[in-house]
Structure 1
Amino acid sequence: MGQRAAIYARVSTSDQSCERQVAELTAFAERGGFDVIGIFKETASGTSSNRSARNRIIDLAQARKIDAVLVTELSRWGRSTQDLLDTLNRLVGWNVSVVAMSGMTFELATPHGRMMATMLAGIAQFERDLLSERVKSGLAAARARGKKLGRQPGQRPKSDKLAPKVIQAVTDGRSYRWIARDLGINKNTVLDIMKRHRKNP
């Protein structure tokens, strides 16, 4: 029996289909001797934090039920360079690698993998610097136009809007970490919401 693998296919819009990716990855798995234990498909933009199918694969990895994740290309898996690096680091802790159809295997426990991690970290920092520069430039331009910045009086913070979903997920037995990952918020935000809920049920 080969390595246990999960196939992950993603498209950005509902008018696209994952079937071509699935067909290619299934053939790739057969050639590589992988034992496919599940095929996970989802429609989500590259930057979307709501990736339920990807989260299920991460849960399988944490439960030590897979050895590899098969993707057509890394951009299908990572939302950004930093997100890719973060998830690769989490997966390596569970001895799970991400294998792209190009033949590149990302295992951060190996010398080649550590070199890739260093490169990815550099790219991620470059992306953060560019984003920071754009944000500062955008804020300066907005101020110059006289636009008021920050939350305005009466405007509800994001945590208030997400509170019902957080409370329901906790009621359903989900962990705070899972909820934070699923809703794209900080774990501390989940904690704050639940503290407020317990004080004012």
Structure 2
Amino acid sequence: MGQRAVIYARVSTSDQSCARQVTELTAFAARAGYDVVEVFKETASGVLAKRVARKRVLGLAQARQIDAILVSELSRWGRSTQDLLESLNRLAGWNVSVVAMNGMTFELNTPHGRMMATMLAGIAQFERDLLSERVKSGLAAARARGKKLGRQPGQRPKSDKLAPQVIEAVASGRSYRWIARDLGLSKNTVTEIMKRHRQRPS
């Protein structure tokens, strides 16, 4: 009996289908000797989408009911580099690997896996730094144009206007403290923005 595996397929929009991913991954599993115990399909786009099927896969991994997660490519599993790294670390603690169809296997308890994790961590930090620089550059450009950055009479609160940037930054793995500093908000304001965002109906 081979390793217990689940197939995880994801598409971005409802007019797309997971059928091709599932067919190709099923064939891949048979060739590689995996015992597929369940197939999960999901339609979700963007880093902020709620991915119920992925949570169910993580639940199986935590319960030690699977040994591997089969995906067509890593972008189908990880929402961002930071998210991918964090999920791989969690899975490593449960001895579960993520296997992409191109044969790339991520097992953080191996030298190769640890090397890949180090590379991913560097990429994630680079992405956070880029986001910070974009925010700072945007604020500097606005000031240079003479735009008043404070709240003006009749305007929406600053927190409402910056909410999309806060949500994007949190999704990329930035801490609330750094986001607050970069956007000129208080940490409590950042926390409140994310609280409102998570309470919205899906």
TM-fit CA distance, 1:16: 0.9
Q: Does 1:86 align with 2:57?
A: no
CA offsets per residue over residues 152-176 of structure 1, 9 Å max, x none?
Answer: 18969432464587xxxxxxxxxxx
Percentage of matched positions with identical amino acids? 73
Is the 1:46–1:75 contact (alpha carbons within 8 Å) kept by the matching residues of 2?
A: no
CA distance in structure 2 between the partners assigned to 1:12 and 1:149 by the alignment: 37
Q: Does 1:140 align with 2:140?
A: yes
CA distance in structure 1 between the partners assigned to 2:120 and 2:28 by the alignment: 25
Cα 1:34–1:161 change in 2 (3 A) is closer
Counterpart position of 2:66: 66
Q: Does 1:55 align with 2:55?
A: yes
Which of 157, 160, 163 aligns to 1:152? It is 157
CA distance in structure 2 between the partners assigned to 1:133 and 1:74 by the alignment: 26
Counterpart position of 2:34: 34
Alignment RMSD (CA, Å): 2.4
Q: Aligned ranges for residues 1-201 of structure 1 at < 5 Å?
A: 1-144=1-144, 146=147, 148=149, 152=157, 157-158=192-193, 159-160=195-196, 162-163=198-199
CA distance in structure 2 between the partners assigned to 1:92 and 1:104 by the alignment: 15
CA distance in structure 2 between the partners assigned to 1:153 and 1:120 by the alignment: 34
Gaps of 5+ in 1: 166-182, 184-201
The number of equivalent residue pairs is 166
CA distance in structure 2 between the partners assigned to 1:96 and 1:10 by the alignment: 19
CA distance in structure 1 between the partners assigned to 2:200 and 2:137 by the alignment: 35
CA distance in structure 1 between the partners assigned to 2:60 and 2:121 by the alignment: 26
CA distance in structure 2 between the partners assigned to 1:110 and 1:101 by the alignment: 19
Counterpart position of 2:165: none
Which TM-score applies when normalising by structure 2? 0.74
TM-fit CA distance, 1:139: 2.4
Range with greater deviation from structure 2 (145-154 or 120-129)? 145-154
Is the 1:72–1:102 contact (alpha carbons within 8 Å) kept by the matching residues of 2?
A: yes
Counterpart of 1:41, as a letter, is: K
Which TM-score applies when normalising by structure 1? 0.74
CA offsets per residue over residues 170-193 of structure 1, 9 Å max, x none?
Answer: xxxxxxxxxxxxx9xxxxxxxxxx
Range with greater deviation from structure 2 (86-95 or 45-54)? 45-54
Counterpart secondary structure, 1:108: coil
CA distance in structure 2 between the partners assigned to 1:113 and 1:153 by the alignment: 43
